[in-house]
């Protein structure tokens, strides 16, 4: 999730950088054709998953890049409405790309047939700052829930990601509608024997969530909405400091763990860690060289993730997993550091099997 712009707004009023320039939304849906027996369509997500973000607006094939990079799971970004006030979501906010088999359906089915799946992601910085994030745009909880449900019916996905930051994380009405819609979808899924998880992707300090992120999760608790994964963006801190990005990932996640413990006091330490996801930005992030996630950092984070038993390991974005633009900060199609193509994919993938890398 590339962040466009220099700052992301947090409830504390502190200025920190923002995520992804391009975002998108969903719309209508259709019934699923019968999937092959070995397909992951409709099946629960694994307990530990590597799911890098895929920039869905580039025109590339997610199935082709998943195969080339060796990734079984991808997070497809983003879905959003085409204009504020709409309750119809489209991929990339593009009205020619509705939630339909004709849009990414073949790619998703191919990934599922290989034993993987995709995680559609709503929001992102652009949608979150233009009133086109679905729950900000649409004032009907029922309509929001119907969009989420149509995504599950159309593609056979079993997790939906919600990238909420900037203006959206402070929009209390939108936060409340979104969480009410999540709870409604979860009741629908239970009645219909479907597996549907929800993850929240949220901005983070090096010490954990800002007050805005905690308030969003508290609202989910209050609305009876189960949050399966809290995925923190451990990059673009924009604090003027030089960062050890791997060390800061650990402290950010530890801070989140303690925040989750206060929100879910009945959960064990192991269960709390199993709710946590981490998204890195390989190479030089949008801030600049002071925030560089190195190849060595990737090894450190993968080993730490295995040891802690977190849920999701991800990065922004798959198209950046190459060394084609050494020295460039925040590039959309390369990491800005010297690396082998797919280095970060290959380094993170053992996490899914509980294997440490060296």
Residue spans per domain, the chain: 8-353
pLDDT per residue as tens digits for the range 20-63: 333 333 233 333 344 556 788 989 999 999 999 999 999 999 99
Residue 36: predicted pLDDT: 57
Peptide bond preceding 236: is omega within 30 degrees of 0, i.e. cis?
no
The residue behind tokens 């440490």 is 356
- Which pLDDT score, from 0 to 100, does residue 358 have? 83
Q: Whose CA is closest to 314, among 123, 9, 69?
A: 69
Domain 8-353, CATH number (from 3.40.50.1100, 1.10.10.10, 3.20.20.80, 1.10.287.310)? 3.20.20.80
The closest alpha carbon to 72, from 335, 345, 330, belongs to 345
Give CA–CA dist 77/150, Å, rounded: 17
pLDDT value for 37: 62
Rg (CA), the chain: 18
Mean pLDDT of the region 302-327: 98
Whether the CB-CB separation of 125 and 5 falls below 8 Å is answered with yes
DSSP 8-state class, residue 31 = P
Is the pLDDT reported for residue 69 higher than 70?
A: yes
Q: For the segment 75-118, what is each residue's pLDDT rounded down to a tens digit?
A: 999 999 999 999 999 999 999 999 999 999 999 999 999 999 99
Q: pTM of the predicted model, to two decimals?
A: 0.91
Confidence (pLDDT) at 12: 28
Q: Which whole number is the average pLDDT over 217-239?
A: 98
Quick one: pLDDT at residue 20? 34
Residue whose C-alpha is closest to residue 302's, from 352, 266, 264, 254: 352
How many whole angstroms separate alpha carbon 276 and alpha carbon 163?
15
Which pLDDT value is given to residue 184?
A: 98
The pLDDT of 158-184, averaged and rounded, is 98
For residue 355, the tally of other CB atoms under 10 A from its CB is 11
Could you please report the per-residue DSSP string of 48-111? SEE--EEETTS---HHHHHHHHT-SEEEEEEEEESSTT---EEETT-TTSBSSTTTTHHHHHHH
């Amino acid at each position: 999730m590339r962040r466009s712009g220099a700052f992301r707004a947090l409830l504390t009023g502190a200025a920190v950088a923002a995520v992804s320039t391009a975002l998108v939304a969903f719309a209508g849906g259709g019934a699923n054709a019968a999937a092959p027996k070995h397909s992951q369509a409709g099946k629960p997500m694994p307990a530990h998953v590597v799911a890098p973000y895929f920039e869905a607006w580039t025109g590339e094939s997610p199935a082709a890049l998943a195969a080339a990079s060796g990734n079984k799971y991808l997070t497809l970004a983003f879905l959003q409405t085409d204009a504020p006030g709409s309750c119809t979501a489209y991929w990339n906010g593009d009205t020619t790309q509705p939630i339909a088999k004709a849009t990414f359906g073949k790619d998703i089915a191919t990934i599922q047939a290989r034993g993987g799946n995709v995680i559609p992601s709503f929001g992102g910085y652009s949608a979150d700052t233009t009133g086109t994030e679905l729950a900000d745009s649409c004032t009907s909880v029922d309509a929001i829930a119907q969009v989420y449900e149509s995504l599950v019916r159309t593609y056979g996905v079993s997790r939906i990601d919600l990238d909420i930051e900037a203006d959206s994380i402070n929009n209390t009405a939108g936060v409340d509608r979104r969480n009410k819609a999540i709870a409604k979808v979860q009741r629908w899924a239970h009645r219909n024997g479907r597996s549907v998880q929800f993850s929240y992707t949220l901005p983070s300090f090096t010490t954990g969530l800002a007050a805005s992120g905690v308030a969003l999760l508290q609202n989910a608790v209050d609305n009876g909405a189960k949050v399966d994964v809290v995925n923190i963006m451990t990059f673009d801190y924009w604090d003027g400091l030089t960062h050890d990005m791997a060390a800061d990932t650990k402290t950010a996640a530890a801070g989140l763990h303690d925040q989750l413990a206060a929100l879910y006091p009945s959960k064990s330490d192991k269960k709390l860690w199993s709710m946590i996801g981490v998204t890195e930005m390989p190479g030089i992030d949008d801030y600049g060289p002071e925030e560089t996630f190195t190849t060595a950092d990737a090894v450190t984070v993968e080993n730490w993730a295995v040891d802690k038993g977190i849920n999701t390991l991800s990065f922004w974005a798959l198209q950046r997993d190459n060394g084609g633009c050494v020295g460039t900060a925040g590039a959309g199609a390369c990491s800005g550091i010297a690396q082998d193509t797919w280095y970060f994919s290959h380094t993170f993938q053992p996490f899914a099997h509980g294997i440490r890398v060296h």
